[in-house]
Structure 1
Amino acid sequence: MVQLRAPTRPPSPPQYRQVQILFRHPGYDDDNNVLFKLQASDIDDHGQPGLFAQFAIDACAIIAGDYACGRGRLSLSRDGSVSIDPTSTLRERSYYFHLDAADDDPYPIVPNFRQWKYPHDRLPPHWQQLSPDTNPTSSSVTLAPSNLTTALLLRDGSCRLSGCREQLQVAHVVPQSELDWWKENDMSRYNTGSTATLDDTANALLLRADLHIAFDKPRVALVPKPAADDSMRLVAHLLEYSPEIGHLYHNRELHPTAVGVDMLYARFAWSVFTLLDAFLECKIDRRLTLRASDVRLADARGFVTPANCELFSSTAARRRSQSPKKRKPNHDTVLEAQQSAEPPTSTNLKRKSIAEAEGLPSKVIAVKRARQVRPPSASVSDNASALTPTHLPTDTSVLTLDSESLPVQSLAQTWLELERRRSDPHGIWNKEQNWAQCVWDGGTLTSDDAAQWLEAVGMEIRDV
Structure 2
Amino acid sequence: MAPRCQIRSALPPPTHPDGGLCTAVCHQDDGALIKLRHPGYPDTKNVLLVFPALDPIIADDSDDGDNVNANNADSADNTNNSNNTKAMFGLHCETARIACAIAANNRWDGFLSTNKATDATPLPLLPDEILPAGSYYFHVPWLGDASSAAAALPYPVVPSFANFQFPHDNLPSLWAAMRIPRHRGDTQPRPSSFDQVVLARDVSCRISQSIFGTESAHLVPRMENSWFNANGMLLYSSRPSIPTAISVDDPRNVLLLRSDLHHLFDQGRFVLVPKEGIWVVHILSGLPEEELAALYHNVCLQPLSGLSVEFLFARFAWTVLAQLSQGIFLQAGVNRQLVTVQGDSVLTKMWSGPDCLVQFTAAKSRSQSPKKRIGTGSENQDGDDDDGEDACTDGDYNDIDGRGRKRWRSSSSPSSVGSSLLESPLVNREEG
Which of 251, 256, 272 pairs up with 2:298? Answer: 251
Aligned to 1:91: 132
Residues 1:6 and 1:321: Cα distance change in structure 2 (over 3 Å)? closer
Distance 2:322 2:331 in 1: 13
Residue 235 of structure 2 is aligned to residue 189 of structure 1:
yes
Query: Cα deviation per residue 1:52-93 (whole Å; 9 max; x = unaligned)?
Result: 1111000000000134xx320000010152311243311141
**2:54 counterpart letter in structure 1:** S
Which of 169, 180, 199 pairs up with 1:121? Answer: 169
18-27 or 46-55: which moved more? 46-55
242-251 or 281-290: which moved more? 242-251
TM-aligned CA deviation for residue 142 of structure 1: 2.5
Aligned to 1:112: 160
Residues 1:181 and 1:311: Cα distance change in structure 2 (over 3 Å)? farther
**1:220 counterpart letter in structure 2:** F
Aligned to 2:113: 75
Which of 5, 18, 37 pairs up with 1:2? Answer: 5
**1:241 counterpart letter in structure 2:** G
- Equivalences for 1:351-390 in 2 at 5 Å? none
Aligned to 2:64: none
Q: What TM-score do the two structures reach when normalised by structure 2?
A: 0.67
Residues 1:292 and 1:89: Cα distance change in structure 2 (over 3 Å)? same
Larger strand share, 1 or 2 = 2
Distance 1:183 1:317 in 2: 23
TM-aligned CA deviation for residue 127 of structure 1: 0.4
Distance 2:193 2:142 in 1: 49
Aligned to 2:267: 217
C-alpha contact 1:112 1:312 (8 A) present in aligned 2: no
- Equivalences for 1:442-461 in 2 at 5 Å? none
Distance 2:88 2:352 in 1: 41
User: Which of the pair has the greater relative contact order for Cα pairs under 8 Å at 6+ separation?
Assistant: 2
Distance 1:102 1:287 in 2: 17
253-262 or 213-222: which moved more? 253-262
C-alpha contact 2:51 2:284 (8 A) present in aligned 1: yes
Which of 164, 169, 183 pairs up with 2:210? Answer: 164
Aligned to 2:380: none
Distance 2:250 2:319 in 1: 20
Distance 1:284 1:140 in 2: 48
Distance 1:284 1:36 in 2: 16
Aligned to 1:326: none
C-alpha contact 1:132 1:256 (8 A) present in aligned 2: no
Residue 95 of structure 2 aligns to a residue in which SS? helix
Residue 88 of structure 2 is aligned to residue 42 of structure 1:
no
Distance 1:111 1:253 in 2: 31
Distance 2:194 2:366 in 1: 27
Aligned to 2:316: 268
Residue 191 of structure 2 is aligned to residue 145 of structure 1:
yes
C-alpha contact 2:112 2:139 (8 A) present in aligned 1: yes
Residue 109 of structure 1 aligns to a residue in which SS? coil
Q: What TM-score do the two structures reach when normalised by structure 1?
A: 0.63
Residues 1:186 and 1:50: Cα distance change in structure 2 (over 3 Å)? same
C-alpha contact 2:36 2:48 (8 A) present in aligned 1: yes
Which of 27, 30, 39 pairs up with 1:26? Answer: 39
Residue 274 of structure 2 aligns to a residue in which SS? strand
Structure 1 residue runs without a partner (length 5+): 227-231, 323-464
Bigger Rg over Cα: 1
Query: Cα deviation per residue 1:21-41 (whole Å; 9 max; x = unaligned)?
Result: 111101011110111111112
What number of residue pairs does the alignment pair up? 308
Query: Cα deviation per residue 1:140-192 (whole Å; 9 max; x = unaligned)?
Result: 56322321211111111110111111100000000001111111101111111
Aligned to 2:280: 235
Query: Cα deviation per residue 1:259-296 (whole Å; 9 max; x = unaligned)?
Result: 10000010000000122121111111100001135989
TM-aligned CA deviation for residue 5 of structure 1: 1.3
Residue 235 of structure 2 aligns to a residue in which SS? helix
TM-aligned CA deviation for residue 134 of structure 1: 4.0
Larger helix share, 1 or 2 = 1
Same amino acid, percent of matched pairs: 35
Residue 97 of structure 1 aligns to a residue in which SS? strand
**1:96 counterpart letter in structure 2:** Y
C-alpha contact 1:71 1:101 (8 A) present in aligned 2: no
- What is the RMSD of the two structures over their aligned residues, measured on CA atoms? 2.3
Structure 2 residue runs without a partner (length 5+): 59-84, 145-150, 368-432
C-alpha contact 1:287 1:302 (8 A) present in aligned 2: yes
Residue 340 of structure 2 aligns to a residue in which SS? coil
Distance 1:96 1:157 in 2: 43
C-alpha contact 2:187 2:238 (8 A) present in aligned 1: no
150-159 or 78-87: which moved more? 78-87
**1:59 counterpart letter in structure 2:** A
**2:193 counterpart letter in structure 1:** N
Distance 2:102 2:197 in 1: 32
Query: Cα deviation per residue 1:86-134 (whole Å; 9 max; x = unaligned)?
Result: 4331114100000012543300101000001101111111101111134
TM-aligned CA deviation for residue 205 of structure 1: 0.4
